[in-house]
Amino acid sequence: MAFVVGQLVCIPALVEPCALAGESLVTIDIDGERLSGFVRDELIEGAAVRAVIRAVDDRAVTVTLPGAFFLRATDRTTIPAAWATAHLRRA
């Protein structure tokens, strides 16, 4: 899949219920990096989290993640291009 800035994609994730109403605990494993946090249920699609592509180059895809992820100062993460091609899907 060719990625373009502004495109909505789904990132595979482990989605678990939590004590916060209307939110789930989400864990995303991206090429050895584990991201966990709380995401509103309407931004979850099955076992995936919806994200927006913010930048694309030959080596990586940068996405904006919804929600509050632990140990992350921004709402963006960079994904290696090969992992993105193999795992991201259109939302």
9-52 pLDDT, tens per residue? 999 999 999 998 999 999 999 988 898 999 999 999 999 999 99
Mean pLDDT for the chain?
A: 92
In the chain the beta strands, taken as DSSP E runs, fall at 8-12, 14-17, 23-30, 33-40, 48-56, 60-64, 68-69, 76-80, 89-90
Domain borders along the chain are: 8-90
Whole-number pLDDT of residue 20: 87
Whole-number pLDDT of residue 70: 80
**Is 80 exceeded by the pLDDT of residue 73?**
no
Which of 33-37, 79-83, 84-88 is predicted least confidently?
Answer: 33-37
